[in-house]
Amino acid sequence: MGNVKKVLINSYSPHAFSRNHENYWDDLWLVFHNGRKVVKLGPCVMSSGYVDEELAMMEEGFAEHSAKGELIEEEHLCNDLIVPINHAELAAYYREEADRYRAMKERFAAGDELVIDDAEGKNTPDIYIRAEKLTRERIEVGLRRYLLERGHFKSGSCLKFVWRRPKFLIRSFPE
């Protein structure tokens, strides 16, 4: 077994202060050395509870906009700005997003512990973890699997996660 590899985690959520805090998601910034190279990643870690909430919201949006059909309305915003709303396009968007979240739920039901979505870029992945809510321990387990699967560390590496305490805290909306 090799040396202990440190992974520095910068987070501005309560997870940085408390091991027991539970939340649906967290934005993290990881810094670690891979050989001589410094690697910086910015994953967003989300729970399966978050997937359930988003799926419900996407289904609701699809139902609302598909009921209006091909109607195009104008939304009046500030300073005389008029924005056209195409309900057919919005319904298609909500259907596509709902299908994506359903596929994630199916993977979780099939036994996958981790679903990785690199659509935003390889340095800023969305990591979905099968857990109703996230704690620091669940986040670390998911990050360990992600870093090993993506080849950032060799299999069998001993990873130590160091949570940097921020100077200020960003509190998410109450659940």
Tens digits of per-residue pLDDT, 84-135? 778 888 899 999 999 999 999 999 999 999 999 887 778 889 999 999 999 9
169 found inside a domain? no
Domain that holds residue 20: 4-164
How does residue 45 score in pLDDT terms, banded at 50, 70 and 90?
A: very high
171 found inside a domain? no
173 found inside a domain? no
Q: What is the pTM of this model?
A: 0.83
Q: In the prediction, which pLDDT does 38 show?
A: 95
Instruction: Give the count of domains, the chain.
Output: 1
174 found inside a domain? no
Dihedral of the CA atoms 27, 6, 149, 96 (nearest 10)? Answer: 0
154 found inside a domain? yes
37 found inside a domain? yes
| 113 in Cβ contact with 82 (< 8 Å) | no
